[in-house]
Each structure stands twice: as structure tokens, then as C-alpha cells.
A and B are shown apart, each in its own frame.
Chain A
Amino acid sequence: MKVVIIKYNSGNVCSLANALERLGIRPILSDEPDELISADKVIFPGVGEAGNAMKYLKEKGLHLIIPELKQDVLGICLGMQLMCAHSEEGNTDCLNIFPLYVKKFVINKEDKYKIPHVGWNNIVLNNEVNSKLYLNTENNKYVYFVHSYYVEKGIFTSSETTYIIPFSASLKKDNFYAVQYHPEKSGKTGETILRNFINL
């Protein structure tokens, strides 16, 4: 199976590649449109800043390719945020696969909350958006998050998490899947989710 990880200026993808290798997949890292189009599965990772990331994608023409992909695509963390319509981070227009807004967490001085939202939090599955990513996954499982911006809830929300407010922990629309957390760092639960994506 040909799994392509989209290469762009989005931090390192070692953990993701390692996690896929543990599932017996040797991923290809590429920013070539042809490689993406010919892949069986595409993973859109990312840790970084939305504005710079979009700029890079535009330079490579990938902003036109990604929304048109017909195979299963999984956006992770910043990858998920870039699949939305707009991000407050750098006031950036994104790929608009999901017509949703990415907002910055707001905290009051009196709150105990810290930003970024970092650590293990539980995800509540939404049965109405029956994402096959959660096959064999119990409700309320813990996964690992690191982010300062969140995707609001909407009709594509396949699971939600609460930190300060409830937000989309994952999204699904047609062949597009996206997760705010890092499945590659989320222990056995994350491994199951990644395996489900590969097996779609």
C-alpha cells in the first residue's frame, strides 16, 4: 500500500513515520502532486504555524490538489486546521474542505487553564457522524493533544473534547478525515485509530 505523508514546512514527521512502520507501512514523504494523486492513502500532518504552512502549500500548488483528492486523506493537528475554511492563526484562509473556523483558545486571568492544551484528554464520539476511524474504540478514550487553536464544533464533528469549551477532536466528510490530537503519540488508542485509517 502506498501511503504518502504530505511534506511541507510543518515540523518533523518522525513520530508519524515510526507509528506507521509499527503497522507495517513504509510511508513516502513527498510534496509532489503526482505522488499525492497516485497514493492509496494520504496523511496531512503538521505541527507549526498556519500562515507559513499555507504559504508553502500554495508555492507547491498543493492547495489546489489536496481538496480534490479522491482517496482517503487524514489530517493531523495543524493538518486538520488547514483543512478548515479559515484560521485565526495569522488570519489565514485555509483549504475549506470543512466549512469551519479555527479559533484561538481564550482564557481569563482567573482561570486555571493553560495554553497550549497539552496532554491526554478524552474524546466523546459522535454516533451521528459515524467515522470508521473509531472502529473498536470505546467512548471516552484518552488521546494526546498539543495545540493552542481549536476547530469549532459542526455537523462534521465525529468526536469532541472539552478544554475550556467543547471543540472538534475529529472531523469527517466523505473521504476526508481529520484529528486534532496526535494518534501517533496516543498509545494503543492512537494505534487503533491509525490502523483503522489504513484499513479503510
Chain B
Amino acid sequence: MLAKRIIPCLDIKNGRTVKGINFENIRDAGDPIELASFYASQGADELVFLDIIATFENRKTLANLVKKVAHEINIPFIVGGGISSIEDVSILLNAGADKISINSYAVRNPIQIEKLAGFFGSQCIVVAIDTKYIDDDWFVYLNGGRIRLPLKAFDWAKQAESAGAGEILLTSMNHDGTKKGFAMDITMQLSKNLSIPVIASGGGGCMKDFLDVFEKAEADAALAASIFHYKEIEIPALKKYLNENNVETRL
């Protein structure tokens, strides 16, 4: 049976892992290569690297880091943050990323999803959507939450799917960093209505939150950062708990 995936996310800034609360107050959380190897050995099902200050110079640093990490780990590896051209994608895939995650680039040029999917295959194109519940609906936000678009998260996810996205990485900005549970309604709406996998992100604070997002919101995968970095939840214990509660995981 297909297992639900647990995915630790490393936010990367200048080669270090950082984590903010509600996209702000960034603190240092450790060496990314060490953390990546640690998570792979702990049974993480996949790993995400998000470069939070993607500049041109930084891109090279990131590619070097991706290369080092890809040498170490034997699980799928998603890299994203500031990708804005086919060349960026190509560089990261050649450095050893298995999938790339695109956000603003996709929103601003939806046609690029189609191009990238045609070029590299849908399986390596993850469309990340940052969303916030405001004025009675979930809207798409860009630039780490600074720009609100007049575009609903659901409509955008459907559009990204038909353009050839392989997976959707959905982050609720209302929930991110709060540890009060995932955004159940929008995650469920996407999971039920899309034919591609949905990775839920933002708000996972305790093991029950993960159980809920898999069982009730039908997410295919759940992503979290700080609770893993600060060892508030250990991946083996989480997966064991999920299995005991009839949610299939890879032990």
C-alpha cells in the first residue's frame, strides 16, 4: 500500500538552516548537510530544501550545497526557492536534486510549468503555493507573504495541475510556525479535487496534527521544519504512532 510521506523541510540562508515564525524572526537551526543525513537515517521519506534568499550569487552556493547533500542522502530530494528560469532548474537537477519546487515563477508564468514538465517531466515539478485565509477565502501570496494576489489557492492549484505540475506543496501562512495543526479545509479541498499528490505544510505541532491531516484532510504527505529541527517530534516515533493509528507509513 502506498505510504503517507513525512517530509522535513530545511529553510536555507547562506548555507545554514534557519526557521522563522510566520515567515519572520529567522533563527539558526544548524548545518544542512548534517541535518539532511540525520533525517535520511531517521526515516524521512523525502527532503525539501528551500532557499529563502535566492540571489544570483546565492544560487551557486545553493547548487554546491545541493551537490554535497545529494551525495549523502538516499531519499528523494526537492529543492526550491527563487527559481526563475529553466536554467535554474537545470542547474539544480544537475547538482542532484530529484524535484524542484517553483512558486512565484509559476504564478507569474503559468506557461513555464508546461515547458518545464515537457522538458524535465512532471514528476520533478512541484508547484509550491503559499496561501492565507482572508476575506472568507484562501488566496495566493508571493514573496514570502508580502504580496497578495487576486487569485484563489484552489483555482491556482487546479490550473497548475492541468499545466503539468507533478505535485502541490501547500503552505498555509495562517498556520505556519504556530504548531496548532495544519490547515485542514484547504488541504482537504485540494486533496479531494486534484489528481496529483498534495503535500500539506504549515502548523504541524504534535503527532495528532499529522494523523488528522492524513486521515481527515487526505493529504498525501506532510511537511514540517522546526518541530523536527528542535526534536520536539522525532520522525521514527511519529511514523510508529501513525502506523498504530492505521495510517500506513514506511517504517
Contact = CB atoms under 8 A, between A and B. Distances in A.
Interface in B183-207: 194-197
A190 B208 CA distance: 30
A45 to B, nearest CB: 13
Interface in B85-126: 93-96, 98, 120-124
B33 to A, nearest CB: 14
B29 interface: no
Interface in A113-148: 114-122, 142, 144, 146
Given A107-B195, A142-B250, A120 B96 contact: no
Interface stretch (A14-22, A27-35, A167-175): A14-22
30 contacts: A11-B120, A14-B70, A15-B77, A15-B98, A18-B71, A21-B71, A47-B121, A49-B121, A107-B195, A114-B196, A115-B195, A116-B166, A117-B2, A118-B123, A118-B167, A119-B2, A119-B5, A120-B5, A120-B45, A120-B250, A121-B1, A142-B250, A162-B1, A184-B74, A185-B98, A186-B74, A186-B75, A187-B40, A187-B74, A187-B250
Interface size of A as a range: 20 to 34
A185 B120 contact: no
A9 B43 CA distance: 32
Contacts of B76: 144, 185
Interface residues of B, number: 33
Given A15-B98, A18-B70, A18-B71, A116 B220 contact: no
B149 interface: no
A12 B93 contact: yes
